[in-house]
Amino acid sequence: MQTKGNRELIEFLTRKYWYSRKKAINQAFEIFNYCRSAREYEGIHDHLTNSPLKFKDMDEILQLAELIFNLACNTRVQEFNGYKPRELQDKYGELPKRLKRAIKREFPEYYEMLGY
């Protein structure tokens, strides 16, 4: 679980929401688990909706979306034969459609910023 994307997400959650690093690690681990399976991408939205996270403004949502997007793109996914979505993008020129659909649904403003 200790990847650059996870560390950045943990630091963000610790800095913005919890004084307890343990709570931030648990939240990041749950998000990471959603990123490990393409079928679970769209569950991130429900998880965040039911989590204790409260956003102050759109900037915080976009910062979190970027961190989750980077984590999802750099996590090996079983349905992609163990490839990371970023590796598939490098190989075929675009991200897997399932990931793009999930980002569009979960974080439409961030999706538009990416220009998909």
Span 35-59, average pLDDT: 83
Span 14-40, average pLDDT: 86
Confidence of residue 42 (pLDDT cuts 50, 70, 90): confident
CA–CA gap between residue 28 and residue 6 (Å, rounded): 7
- pLDDT of 109 > 80? The answer is yes
DSSP symbols for the chain: ---HHHHHHHHHHHHHT-S-HHHHHHHHHHHHHHHT-GGGTTHHHHHHHHSS---SSHHHHHHHHHHHHHHHHTS--GGGTT--HHHHHHHHSS--HHHHHHHHHH-HHHHHHHT-
Span 44-62, average pLDDT: 84
Range of the domain at 61: 4-114
- CA distance between the termini of the chain: 29
Closest CA to 85 of 29, 27, 37: 37
